[in-house]
Amino acid sequence: MTTIPPEQIADAHLLEADGEIFLYEISPSEGSGTVRIKADNTVSWRGNDYEGLPLKWEGESYSADGTVARPTLTIGDEQINLMVLKPLLFDGTIDGGTLVRHRILLDDLLNDRLVTTTDEYRIQRVTGYSRSQIGLALARQADALNFSLPFHQYYSPDFPSVNIS
């Protein structure tokens, strides 16, 4: 029988679990220029800086029949100027782009460990934009399912009705 280290026993008796931190990466549909953000303060994780901004994540829910509600992300508030994101909005590349949300424990963030749960969303549309606030409507990559569809090619002879001309 193995003995349990005392620090693990002490950690198990804490009234509050480690804090969850959410890190967001917004990538445009064309070109480059990933924007990395986090609610509140700026942090560095895995060699990337995540800029601290006011964020509001709403509408995420799951049901027993497998459908997933489409969440929204609101970036900013009345005290901040988001003009730095203006080029992504006005050239249209944020529509159809991707948003990756990393869920990581505070201890793993502080110790720069790659222990995370990652969700990937497609930016369906910009729901609103002002100098101080941006609203994004999101959808799963495969709508209502939590996976990405694999690439598949349909060629003869496996598919006799397909002709290559």
Mean pLDDT of the chain: 80
Q: How far apart are CA 66 and CA 47, in angstroms?
A: 36
Yes or no: say if 23 and 50 are a contact pair by the CB < 8 Å rule: yes
Look at residue 13 and tell me whether its pLDDT is greater than 80. no
Strand order in the sheet with 133-140: 43-45, 48-53, 35-39, 20-27, 98-105, 117-129, 133-140, 72-76, 55-58
Cα separation, 24 vs 76, whole angstroms = 14
More confident residue, 48 or 147: 48
> Has residue 75 got a pLDDT over 70?
yes
26, 22, 23, 50: which is closest to 135 by C-alpha?
A: 26
Region of 108 (left: φ > 0; alpha: ψ -120 to 50; beta: rest) is alpha
Instruction: Tell me: pLDDT of 126 over 90.
Output: no
Encode pLDDT of 112-125 as tens digits. 988 899 999 999 88
State pTM to two decimals.
Answer: 0.72
Judge contact between 43 and 19, C-beta under 8 A.
Answer: no
Model pLDDT for residues 16-57, shown as the tens digit of each residue = 656 889 999 998 888 778 889 999 899 999 999 999 989 999
pLDDT over threshold 50, residue 69? yes
User: In this predicted structure, what is the pLDDT of residue 10?
Assistant: 78
- pLDDT for res 144: 43
Residue 45's DSSP bridge partners are: 48
135, 72 Cβ separation under 8 angstroms = yes
Which tokens sit at 155? 């060629």
Distance CA 152, CA 79 (A): 48
**Residue range 89-114: average pLDDT?**
87
